Structure 1
Amino acid sequence: MAARSTSGARGRGTQGIAEALRGVSSALTAWLTRPLASFHLLLAVFGLLTAVGLVMVLSASSVESFSEAGSSYSVFLKHLLHCLFGAVCCYVAMRTPVWMLRRFSHVFLLVCLVLLVLVLTRLGFRSNGAQSWFVLGPVSFQPVEPAKIALALWGAHVLVTKRALLGQYRHLLVPVLPAALLMFALVMLQPDFGSTVTLGIVLLALLWFAGAPLRLFSALVLGAVTGMLTLVFLFQYQINRVTSFFSSDSGGGTDSFQATQARLALADGGLFGEGIGQGWSKWKYLPEADNDFIFAVLGEELGFVGCAAVLLLFGTVAYVGMRIAARNTDPWIKLVAATLTTWVVGQAAINIGYVVGLLPVTGLPLPLISSGGSSVVTTMIVFGLLANFARHEPEAIAALRSLGPGKVGRLLRLPTPAPYRPPATRRPSGTANRRTAPATKPSGKRSRSAGTAGRKQPAPRQRRRTGSSR
């Protein structure tokens, strides 16, 4: 009797959990049907990733900051200033009209190309073997970061403008591919292998979402992999990274030291981690703990649960970005939103992949979590653009124009977006002439007069003279 009552209680408990999960699922589904759900969800993920980044940079950089500057907050304060400046840039990107972003995308691209050329001259600053920065007093700036956004905006503009001709390879690849290859060459002259990889992600995402044929896309991927392998073997430090990745060395060599220490830090974290600030890897055991390998510090101090939460946040970024692209009617917004989302999520996947040992080390930061100036600001601009595009969904525009800006829009003083109007279709040049030309009787000499259909007809007197001469 007791066994039956126990089994009945378990069944009721399981049924209650299932009903609770169904209730949560239905509530979430109902919330996602709201017109501004993409906008609000994107802002929430953006705030959570920024907060996690601030906490982890403070924890991961405290030891190095104290040993070098005498204060545990020096690197954190710089990162905080970069986040504040990036928040301002995010707000500007959120308010900028979409037509302006598209119209001046070619100017933005030209400025970035000029900066990529100038950084290779004496104006550029070399650090860690790469001449990739402009340094103006305490401020450093890496021009390749905004160049990624410029390539996405301008490339989408070209491909959308020529979308009726994309079935032809020359219209699909020119001029997007030559401009991207020029950008790749300038970045590799620095050299910066990691930024070249992200530029390649932007280019491939543009062509993929523009509808490039699979055989062409396969050829481009094969060419990109071949070019990357060629560039890898041109530099000794890249050769060392690749060989250490495929070697069986467990940590004795210097080339595999970072990757091995990162895996050890993740192993020490366990399920729930050792607590914020309690990790040992930042005590000079793990180089670049606050930048390239901050995910290892996060796993050590927050454990598997913290890593899973970060992965869930980036998965939400992928979902919201693709949702924004799918729900918009403007083809340029659709292409830019999908490309920017692929870039951010792809960079996060590469960073986490080489931290856990699935990929060779490339030196890419984890978006919004790693410390850094240009990378943090650029990623925040990307989130601002995505938030801007989220407010241009047709249902969002209808709600904003009928019900008002809402609490968030009123707080941020965001303008009401204008509805998308597709460009007017142009008639063929010969159609208007054929419609306005007077009807003529068919004659046997049609080939002789076919070229004069759109010309001014001769006067009646000339017609009678011509007929009399015949």
Structure 2
Amino acid sequence: MASLHLIQAIFALLLGFGLLMVLSSSSVTAFRTGGSSFGVFANQATFALVGLVLFGATQYLPVRLMRSLSTAAVMFSILLLVAVLIPGVGKLVNGARSWIAIGGFQFQPSEVAKLALLLWMGHVLAARRSTLASPRSLLIPVLPVFILIAGLIMMQPDLGTTTALLIVFMACLFFAGAPWWMFATLAGLAVLGVTALALSATYRLARVLSFLNPDPTSASGWQLAQSLYGMGNGGIFGVGLGQSRAKWSYLPNADSDFIFAIVGEELGFIGAALLLLLFGLLAYTGLRIARRNVDPFVKIVASAGTVWLVGQAGINICYVVGLLPVTGIPLPMISAGGTSLIITMVVFGLLANFARSEPEAAAVLQANGGNRLARFLGVNPKPGAGAKRAAKRTAKAERRAAKSAKRAAAAKPAPARKPASPTRRTPDAVRAEPRSRGAAPRPTTGTQRPGAIPRQPDGRRGAAGARPARSTPSANPRRNPSSGGSPQW
């Protein structure tokens, strides 16, 4: 149960920490644009409630259902990515058509595509684990599907999400057991592809140049410079929660892409180090869950999902501190963003689900009998398997036996039965027995009833000198009409 408790604790700490930092970093911008300092925080809290429901449901989702729905999920995500490119359906935000608005709700299909690709690749690679040494079996059909999804995302355009999708793809191949030469070749091609995409647009090229030669006076270098100024201002212990100066319109995207800079300024080096420790603990726990399971699907999805979240956090923190060019990847569970938060919480739910299937955790859950929701979905043992359930059944049986004994004691006693008489043959039974003239006399019992007629040596009843018995049927004309003469006795 250690992995399950660890993943649930990490989830709770990151969620609470993220909501607190979203409230602090977005208060100024939310008040200026909406008249309330709690506008962005309220939206984030609403998405967090939805994510909590999905997190709880995903913990008890059967693995076989995940695998059966993975193909439909990836096809549905492709349809959403096509729909977002249609004018009037997709919403243009910051130069990228990455959102679909339905009423007052809007979501980002590319985030859904990452989760769908993770589950689908885990299903396909687990089903072909015996033939993964063949390049064709390993790359078909996962490579064409990945290229299709990545191409649709780049048409929005969104390089950051494409990079995160590439992390998911490479992690699935690596943990599925792809040969080193194949993995290295694909990784090299991926780096070349991302570099070409980064240099293909003017604003992306400006970000790369500002990373190589930071210029605080340029538009592309201003954001990085303000991020570094804010973190330097925080020092060891920070300036205090809610006391950041960079969020007062100095640092763009202070509540989303660059929220780690606000963490470093308000909570200092200690707060930033604690956040890094949480992500490091997430990496350890996720890989531990994958290692302690035997299902290949669980191994691939758990390990690749962990690398996805931790890798995305690492890229975000690196470009905030100036170690990588700015890509726009959010910090999981911390940055403001509804769709990203919900999908990340679902991934945590998957990890918690897989932690329940560890041998030690399964034994403990079996001993405790699980809970009603888990038993209803069929992912935990039946209630009779638990010691607690067995004790309850024993106590219930004892109470039932005590009630039965009480009712029996209060009931009217039944009348005593008359003792049965000694076994005696009826006359019909005696006549039915075969007899012959020279037969031995029937055995008599040692005792006779008082007043009974004594038996003669030939077995007949009566005293000596009594009337003789009837003749045999052959000598009796009444019994044998074929014989002549008058009746004789």
Tell me, what secondary structure is at the counterpart of 1:277? coil
Query: Which entry has the higher C-alpha Rg, 1 or 2?
Result: 2
Distance 1:257 1:235 in 2: 19
Match of 1:217 among 161, 166, 183: 183
Distance 1:339 1:228 in 2: 20
Distance 1:92 1:142 in 2: 22
**Deviation per CA, 1:71-107, whole angstroms, max 9, x where unpaired?**
1110110111011111111112112111100111101
Give the CA deviation at 1:410. 7.3
**Deviation per CA, 1:294-334, whole angstroms, max 9, x where unpaired?**
00000000000000000000001101100100001111101
Match of 1:134 among 88, 96, 100: 100
Distance 1:416 1:50 in 2: 29
Match of 1:150 among 93, 98, 116: 116
Give the CA deviation at 1:252. 1.1
Q: Residues 141 and 374 of structure 1 are in contact (CA less than 8 Å); yes or no, is this contact kept in structure 2? A: yes
Give the 5 Å matches for 1:311-460: 311-405=276-370, 417=379
Q: Residues 52 and 345 of structure 2 are in contact (CA less than 8 Å); yes or no, is this contact kept in structure 1? A: yes
**Deviation per CA, 1:234-284, whole angstroms, max 9, x where unpaired?**
2111111001101142x1111111111001111000000000011100000
Tell me, what secondary structure is at the counterpart of 1:233? helix
Q: Given residue 133 of structure 2, which amino acid in structure 1 is its aligned partner?
A: G
Q: Residues 291 and 371 of structure 1 are in contact (CA less than 8 Å); yes or no, is this contact kept in structure 2? A: yes
Unaligned runs of 5+ in 2: 382-489
Q: Given residue 185 of structure 1, which amino acid in structure 2 is its aligned partner?
A: G
Distance 2:333 2:225 in 1: 24
Q: 1:175 to 1:412 in 2, by over 3 A?
A: closer
Give the CA deviation at 1:395. 1.9
Give 2:51's aligned residue.
Answer: 86
Give 1:48's aligned residue.
Answer: 13
Give the CA deviation at 1:216. 1.0
Give 1:4's aligned residue.
Answer: none
Unaligned runs of 5+ in 1: 1-35, 420-470
Give 1:429's aligned residue.
Answer: none
TM-score by length of 2: 0.76
Give the CA deviation at 1:221. 1.0
Q: 1:49 to 1:413 in 2, by over 3 A?
A: farther
**Deviation per CA, 1:161-213, whole angstroms, max 9, x where unpaired?**
11111111110111011100111100000000000000000000011001111
Indicate the structure with greater helix content. Answer: 1
Distance 2:53 2:206 in 1: 40
Distance 2:70 2:182 in 1: 26
Give 2:127's aligned residue.
Answer: 161
Give the 5 Å matches for 1:255-274: 255-274=220-239
Distance 1:150 1:198 in 2: 13
Q: Given residue 257 of structure 1, which amino acid in structure 2 is its aligned partner?
A: W
Give 1:422's aligned residue.
Answer: none
TM-score by length of 1: 0.79
Give 1:424's aligned residue.
Answer: none
- Tell me, yes or no, if structure 1 residue 279 matches structure 2 residue 241: no
- Tell me, yes or no, if structure 1 residue 199 matches structure 2 residue 169: no
Give 2:200's aligned residue.
Answer: 234
Distance 2:375 2:69 in 1: 24
Give the CA deviation at 1:402. 2.1
Distance 2:105 2:198 in 1: 30
Distance 2:325 2:332 in 1: 18
Match of 1:289 among 254, 267, 270: 254
Q: Report the number of matched residues.
A: 380
Q: Given residue 208 of structure 1, which amino acid in structure 2 is its aligned partner?
A: F
Distance 1:417 1:297 in 2: 42
Identity %: 50
Q: 1:414 to 1:315 in 2, by over 3 A?
A: farther
Tell me, what secondary structure is at the counterpart of 1:290? coil
For the aligned residue pairs, the C-alpha RMSD in angstroms reads: 1.5
Give 1:10's aligned residue.
Answer: none
Q: 1:74 to 1:207 in 2, by over 3 A?
A: same
- Tell me, yes or no, if structure 1 residue 190 matches structure 2 residue 160: no
Distance 1:204 1:382 in 2: 17
